Amino acid sequence: MATIIDGKKLAKEYRMKLKSRCDDLKNKGINPKLAVIMVGNDKASQVYVKNKSKACEEIGIIFEEYLLDENIKQEELINLIEKLNQDDSVNGILLQSPIPSNLDINEAFQKISPNKDVDGFNPLNVGKLALNQDTFVSCTPYGIMKMFEAYNVDLTGKNVTIIGRSNIVGKPLIQCCLNKNATVTVCHSKTKNLKEHTQNADILIVAIGKAKFVTEDMVKDGAVVIDVGINRDENGKLTGDVDFENVEKKASYITPVPGGVGPMTIAMLMNNVIKATENSKF
Ligand code: GUN
């Protein structure tokens, strides 16, 4: 039976440490602030943003929400980003994705000041991560790396297989794992013989958004399995991309859904806001 990686507990410990760093800033008269932009009414985004606002409240970070109509023009979105870039009271800017498809999200991410880019999506910060330089690491990959650290999972020389190549999770994870000296394989919808790659993985990270996609037969004995998925099963219950009940019997470590990667993602966002504030004031 696998050890369950308790993301919920670990994230709480991180938030407590961040609260103390936030208190130190406040004692110096500095009040960290996160500005979140949401365009349209995506239901899942509303839940994510609510959770981000709760975490800010717990730590003492000011949370400012900008809700934009789904019909806004690109120019209005860019104007808002530029206004927030100029505003010295704003330390972090987050544009919640997805946004309506007629808008250009890449241009928007590029306009967010690299110093306030707490999601790590500005191309400059993406490049810095690729060069293994200090930067804002995007929050889900960063949270996963912190889980490895906390559970003493050493990546050196390990075969890491990532399923999913999104800009938000899969691609930055490649760099994070490579920076820790892993041998990295990335699988996606066009990959042939997926099972061969997953069975070879000492560490398997799944981020595709398909409920219970990874089954026991795809996993090597003793593998570390990280589940980034958040899906609803046929009964409306939250479930990951991994068939947890069966894979748990074979893995050495596994993350649950909920209570695994999700809370760590938010804790790392909070970390990045505090880091941005500390960077800007000293
Ligand atoms: N949409 C889904 N995940 C994320 C995230 O981590 N950041 C942003 N900005 N949008 C998202």
For the record, the structure tokens of 76 come out as 């209005």
| The two structure tokens encoding residue 163 | 């399923």
Confidence category of residue 93, pLDDT binned at 50, 70, 90: very high
**Where are the CATH 3.40.50.10860 domain residues in the chain?**
29-113
Taking the centre of ligand 1 as the mean of its atom positions, its distance from the CA of residue 101, in whole angstroms, is: 15
- DSSP class of residue 220 equals -
Over residues 27-50, the mean pLDDT reads: 96
Superfamily of domain 29-113: Leucine Dehydrogenase, chain A, domain 1 (3.40.50.10860)
258-272 average pLDDT score: 98
User: 117 in ligand 1 pocket by Cβ < 6 Å?
Assistant: no
Q: Residue 226's pLDDT is what?
A: 99
Closest C-alpha residue for ligand 1 atom 7: 96
Ligand 1 near 139 CB (within 6 A) = yes
Q: Is the pLDDT of residue 48 over 80?
A: yes
- Ligand 1: does its nearest atom lie under 6 Å from the Cβ of 96? yes
- Consecutive H or E run containing 185: strand 183-187
Does the beta carbon of 95 lie inside 6 Å of ligand 1? yes
Q: Which CATH architecture has domain 139-262?
A: 3-Layer(aba) Sandwich (3.40)
Q: What is the pLDDT of residue 234?
A: 86
Q: What is the model's pLDDT at position 233? A: 86
**Average pLDDT of the chain?**
97
The answer, yes or no, to whether any atom of ligand 1 lies below 6 A from the CB of 119, is yes
CA atoms within 13 A on the CB side of 113: 19
Q: What stretches of 60-152 show up as alpha helix (H) in DSSP? A: 74-86, 105-111, 123-130, 139-150
Name the strand (E) or helix (H) holding 95.
Answer: strand 92-95
Ordered alpha helix ranges (H), 157-255: 170-179, 194-199, 244-247
Instruction: Outline which parts of the chain fall under CATH 3.40.50.720.
Output: 139-262
- Whole-number pLDDT of residue 113: 98
- Tokens 């990532």 belong to which residue? 162
This prediction's pTM = 0.97
52 is catalytic: yes
Q: 3-state class of 165 per DSSP?
A: coil
Tens-digit pLDDT profile for residues 212-229:
999 999 999 999 999 999
Question: 115 C-alpha vs ligand 1 centroid, how far in Å?
Answer: 18
Out of 6, 96, 117, 175, pick the active-site residue. 96
Asked if the model's pLDDT at residue 282 lies above 80, the reply is: no
Residues 100-152 pLDDT 10s: 999 999 999 999 999 999 999 999 999 999 999 999 999 999 999 999 999 99
